[in-house]
Amino acid sequence: MISNDIVDKIKDVMRGANVLESKEERLCYSYDATRQEFLPDLVVRPASTYEISEILKIATANSIPVYIRGAATGLTGGCVPIKGGIVISLTRMNRIIEIDEKNLIAVVEPGVITYDLHREVEKKGLFYPPDPASFQICTIGGNIAENAGGLRGLKYGVTRDYCLGLEAVLATGEIINTGSRTLKCVTGFDLTSLLIGSEGTLAVITRVFLKLLPLPEKKITVSAYFRNIDDAANTVSEIISSKIIPVTLEFMDNDTIRCIEQYLKNIYPEGTDTILLIELDGKAEVIEREIEQVRKTCEKCGAFFCAVARDDKERAILWKARSSISPALYQIAPKKINEDICVPRSVIPEILRRIKKIGEKYKLPIPCFGHAGDGNLHVNIMLDPAVYNIKEAEKAVNEIFENTLELHGTITGEHGIGNTKIKYLEMEVGHDSIRIMKEIKKTFDPAGILNQGKMFE
Amino acid sequence: MISNDIVDKIKDVMRGANVLESKEERLCYSYDATRQEFLPDLVVRPASTYEISEILKIATANSIPVYIRGAATGLTGGCVPIKGGIVISLTRMNRIIEIDEKNLIAVVEPGVITYDLHREVEKKGLFYPPDPASFQICTIGGNIAENAGGLRGLKYGVTRDYCLGLEAVLATGEIINTGSRTLKCVTGFDLTSLLIGSEGTLAVITRVFLKLLPLPEKKITVSAYFRNIDDAANTVSEIISSKIIPVTLEFMDNDTIRCIEQYLKNIYPEGTDTILLIELDGKAEVIEREIEQVRKTCEKCGAFFCAVARDDKERAILWKARSSISPALYQIAPKKINEDICVPRSVIPEILRRIKKIGEKYKLPIPCFGHAGDGNLHVNIMLDPAVYNIKEAEKAVNEIFENTLELHGTITGEHGIGNTKIKYLEMEVGHDSIRIMKEIKKTFDPAGILNQGKMFE
């Protein structure tokens, strides 16, 4: 509980508006995409860096937990207020301040929706590549906090690759500027990269300087159908070895395809076991040549059917199944543990074999799909609490992570740690790195108010 | 001075070899490309992570300064042992451990020469883009420590963009692993990026995981000659606005050209005031089309002559002048202060105008050249101590930096802070960021042994 005195101070900062106290209002800020729910004591919706700085000073002085919230689409509990306290929602800070066409730079507030930025820059023939699955509703601030990836990561990288600089407020209220409005900058330690992916535990990001690219001329998509996973995995290696880097190289395994089939009916040719969805972009003459090469590689490696889409309408048909995975999965079980391991792409067949074995051992369906090009796999341990034992599912997760690390992978490619993966972090990064991370956290946030209970024990 | 007892302990770790004590030997490890000289008390040349860990434990226990040294090509004093102590040279750790063609990853030790890596990966049709000017002699470890850029930065970014993970030894001897062998990784804070560009102040890098790309099919180079700087600067903006991103977009100003002319004689057409050197790479059919577009843009914007090079021999002719800048500059004055500011590329003409005015005010020649594409300019304040006052030159540097920051630039795009720019760091990053950086330093290196006297006061 926050005392009336402190609530009044916060209301003063906010000039009486955008401070939400009723239970109904607070409930709207209690959950995220993990379906966890924790009720905050107070919700504040600031519109300026100054307001955020003043609120943080009050919170630090009184050791009140603070949780920063964008669109709450995170998959590891990054924004849920597990210790109550104050939720600061940044959705009112949603201005695209500038699109600098001469320098290919955008300056935005953290509450800007990723899709809105996509559309605005594309109107000017420019391109902001990061596209997490939730891009139509998630915010740039959340993308920065989680270092969001997306479907275009193979060719274009992740959010960190596009963030040149930040304005951020420390837990103690000081405003810092990191990085620069320039493409290169080596003044001191790279605090920009340190804040990116720090999941709201170090500072509140209030302004973002993003690098843009010229919009590619054209896109072509191929969907290739295989009778077994090994042929599909070989195809991925062959495409990359032939020096072609697609924008997107997605795969769906047999379990995933069966779920989609149940959901959409008769969408795939008979005998489909694994699907690759491959998208190229670039200059028209190059990708026409390359897509032909990709199609031939697919067929040589065992694809029994390839569909090519050259315009948006055709592409929408090929993408429909990929976009339906989430609702389709919920058809086979009401709950899922959604992990996003990442492995060197050459060991994808091996990790998938091991995951299937783990699934058999614990009698759990584990459909897998994801970004085969960069080795980032979405592993879905499907749970029906009426049938399956959640403890068994957790053992399965543990074994999947152990196998991932053994194959030189990472336990999370783009979802982050939040509160759901805390107990696994040390498996990967080790005790000494965690000690250093905790000390860095203390430097930025001495009272430990920011995102309490996340990232570390 | 280091006591005999401690020297003996270090010799034990090194099994009696590769510990250099004589003055003649130590002198070889006393300088860098800034021409500063400080004699270390001891030089150690370890060949393993274990040896480095043991030496650092001894140094921390006895508060002995430690300076890590690669090829000593740094331009801000990053490796010079200004407080004496131990120099650890990493040149024996020069193995390319693995080039993983399936996953496009290289695993190397820090002493590998950048050019050796270029050549080895190119043999396999792969590409490691970072190419600082010293690439033929500098080391990957030094590139990581400084976050080195280079001529291909405009299209391909800098060292940080290619480093997936590190093995590093803390000042207290613990060995940590950061990042992953995967293209995506969000487990905890990004310690990889924090170590990159930390200039040897946080930890000793002992192994590096690098991302590779497919080698581009073809390169074409254009050299364009202008009668004034504004036309050249407009050309840069026009090329980028036309959605072409060259690999390299270098410029040389009038003062630089005069120096080269004195040095090489009759190399440029009469009336040349500014030169752009533009290189495109990619698929043959695309760059043939684009180079034509670039040539037309140059001519439209005022270039009075364009030379195109399609093979290595022709290219070498165009590049000869660019490669001669350094020796050519020393013809007009025996000493130079070499700054590497970076500005948003649209303000290049403005910053150059201001630099010329500052040069006139202090009666100092200031030839400028560099990476126009990413706004990273090499500003050379030429000094003849017999004629010019060094204090005046420092005032000029200060004014150049003030103007750079006013135009939203940074005081260093790729050279770093070292000991030569310490007093300017706060101008750019501010007091609060420096406080945080210093606390991070203390976390990694509690006894403050690593690169004492660098980065901060």
Helices A422-444, B422-444: axis angle to 10 degrees equals 140
- Please tell me the predicted confidence (pLDDT) of residue A410: 98
- Residue B441, domain member (yes or no): no
pLDDT tens digits, one per residue of A146-205: 999 999 999 999 999 999 999 999 999 999 999 999 999 999 999 999 999 999 999 999
pLDDT-based confidence at residue A266 (cuts at 50, 70, 90): confident
Q: Judge if A107 and A61 occupy the same domain.
A: no
Tokens 């810092």 -> residue:
A176
Q: Judge if B129 and B229 occupy the same domain.
A: no
Q: Which residues, 6 or more positions from A323, have their beta carbon under 8 angstroms from its beta carbon? A: none
Query: Does residue A457 sit at the B interface (CB-CB below 8 Å)?
Result: no
Q: Per-residue pLDDT for B1 more than 90?
A: no
Q: Judge if A224 and A283 occupy the same domain.
A: yes
A433 to B161: CB separation less than 8 angstroms, yes or no:
no
Q: Per-residue pLDDT for A387 more than 80?
A: no
CATH number at residue A49: 3.30.43.10
* Residues of chain A with C-beta less than 8 angstroms from the C-beta of B414: 184, 186
pLDDT tens digits, one per residue of A204-221: 999 999 999 999 999 999
B429 to A187: CB separation less than 8 angstroms, yes or no:
yes
A412 to B443: CB separation less than 8 angstroms, yes or no:
no
Q: Per-residue pLDDT for B385 more than 80?
A: no
Q: Judge if A346 and A251 occupy the same domain.
A: no
- Please tell me the predicted confidence (pLDDT) of residue B376: 95
- Residue A149, domain member (yes or no): yes
Number of domains within chain B: 4
B344 to A102: CB separation less than 8 angstroms, yes or no:
yes
Among B158, B187, B376, B429, the strongest candidate for a mutation testing the A interface, having the largest count of A CBs within 10 A, is B187
Q: Which of 181-240 (A) contact B at CB < 8 A?
A: 181-191, 193-194, 196-198, 202, 213-215, 237, 240
pLDDT tens digits, one per residue of B61-78: 999 999 999 999 999 999
pLDDT-based confidence at residue A282 (cuts at 50, 70, 90): very high
Query: Does residue B374 sit at the A interface (CB-CB below 8 Å)?
Result: yes
Query: Does residue B427 sit at the A interface (CB-CB below 8 Å)?
Result: no
A188 to B346: CB separation less than 8 angstroms, yes or no:
no
Q: Which helix H or strand E contains B284, and what residues bound it? A: helix B284-300
Determine the average pLDDT of the residues in B206-216: 96
pLDDT tens digits, one per residue of A58-102: 999 999 999 999 999 999 999 999 999 999 999 999 999 999 998
* Residues of chain A with C-beta less than 8 angstroms from the C-beta of B184: 149, 153, 158, 342, 374-376, 410, 413-414
Distance CA A51, CA A14 (A): 7
Closest CA in chain A for residue B437: A189
Q: Are B340 and B379 in contact (CB under 8 A)?
A: yes
Determine the average pLDDT of the residues in B29-51: 97
pLDDT-based confidence at residue B307 (cuts at 50, 70, 90): very high
Instruction: Please choose, from the candidates A221, A225, A213, the residue with its C-alpha nearest in 3D space to the C-alpha of residue A288.
Output: A221
- Please tell me the predicted confidence (pLDDT) of residue A242: 85
- Residue A456, domain member (yes or no): no
Which residue, B91, B117, B136, sits at the end of a domain? B91
How far off is chain B from A426, nearest CA to CA, in Å?
A: 9
Query: Does residue B149 sit at the A interface (CB-CB below 8 Å)?
Result: yes
* Residues of chain B with C-beta less than 8 angstroms from the C-beta of A375: 103, 182-184
Question: What ipTM was estimated for this complex?
Answer: 0.96
Distance (Å) of CA B226 to CA A228, B253, B269: 60, 10, 10
Out of B160, B184, B202, name the one closest to residue A374 (CB). B184
Determine the average pLDDT of the residues in B367-391: 89
Determine the average pLDDT of the residues in A306-310: 93
- Please tell me the predicted confidence (pLDDT) of residue B65: 98
Among A83-97, A223-237, B318-332, B407-421, the minimum mean pLDDT is found in B318-332
Determine the average pLDDT of the residues in B35-53: 97
B190 to A196: CB separation less than 8 angstroms, yes or no:
yes
Out of B180, B186, B343, name the one closest to residue A182 (CB). B343
Among B131, B175, B186, the strongest candidate for a mutation testing the A interface, having the largest count of A CBs within 10 A, is B186
Q: Judge if A61 and A126 occupy the same domain.
A: no
Distance CA B68, CA B81 (A): 9
Q: Judge if B250 and B347 occupy the same domain.
A: no
Determine the average pLDDT of the residues in B334-351: 92
Better pLDDT: B330 or A141:
A141
Which residue, B260, B294, B326, sits at the end of a domain? B326
Q: Are A142 and A74 in contact (CB under 8 A)?
A: yes
Out of B103, B193, B346, name the one closest to residue A193 (CB). B193
- Please tell me the predicted confidence (pLDDT) of residue A376: 95
Q: How far from each other are the two terminal CA atoms of chain B, in whole angstroms?
A: 23
Q: Judge if A125 and A181 occupy the same domain.
A: yes
Domain with B69 in it = 4-91
CATH number at residue A387: 3.30.70.2740
- Residue A444, domain member (yes or no): no
Q: How many CB pairs under 8 A join A and B?
A: 256
Q: Tell me if residue A204 falls in helix, strand or coil.
A: strand
Exposed/middle/buried for residue B23 (C-beta within 10 Å: 0-12, 13-18, 19+): exposed
- Residue A76, domain member (yes or no): yes
How far off is chain B from A133, nearest CA to CA, in Å?
A: 15
pLDDT-based confidence at residue B188 (cuts at 50, 70, 90): very high
Determine the average pLDDT of the residues in B259-266: 87
Q: Judge if B284 and B228 occupy the same domain.
A: yes
B417 to A187: CB separation less than 8 angstroms, yes or no:
yes
Q: What percent of chain A has pLDDT over 90?
A: 84
- Residue B377, domain member (yes or no): yes
Q: What percent of chain A has pLDDT over 70?
A: 100
Q: Judge if B162 and B196 occupy the same domain.
A: yes
Q: Judge if B12 and B37 occupy the same domain.
A: yes
- Please tell me the predicted confidence (pLDDT) of residue B266: 81
Mean pLDDT of chain B: 95
Which residue, B326, B359, B387, sits at the end of a domain? B326
Q: Are B46 and B92 in contact (CB under 8 A)?
A: yes
- Residue B190, domain member (yes or no): yes
Q: Judge if B122 and B80 occupy the same domain.
A: no
Among B110-119, B123-132, B159-168, B257-266, the minimum mean pLDDT is found in B257-266
- Please tell me the predicted confidence (pLDDT) of residue B318: 87
Exposed/middle/buried for residue B262 (C-beta within 10 Å: 0-12, 13-18, 19+): exposed
Determine the average pLDDT of the residues in B197-204: 98
Q: Which residues, 6 or more positions from B86, have their beta carbon under 8 angstroms from its beta carbon? A: B2, B10, B40, B41, B42, B43, B44, B55, B59, B64, B65, B66, B67
Distance CA A175, CA A167 (A): 7
Distance CA A299, CA A304 (A): 7
pLDDT-based confidence at residue A285 (cuts at 50, 70, 90): confident
Q: Per-residue pLDDT for A117 more than 90?
A: yes
- Residue A449, domain member (yes or no): no
CATH number at residue A298: 3.30.70.2190
Q: Are B357 and B399 in contact (CB under 8 A)?
A: no
Determine the average pLDDT of the residues in A27-44: 96
What pTM does this model have? 0.96
Distance CA B439, CA A79 (A): 27
Radius of gyration of chain A (CA): 23
Mean pLDDT of chain A: 95
Query: Does residue B342 sit at the A interface (CB-CB below 8 Å)?
Result: yes
Q: Per-residue pLDDT for A7 more than 90?
A: yes
Determine the average pLDDT of the residues in A402-417: 97
Determine the average pLDDT of the residues in A393-420: 96
CATH number at residue B201: 3.30.465.10
Q: Judge if A156 and A102 occupy the same domain.
A: yes
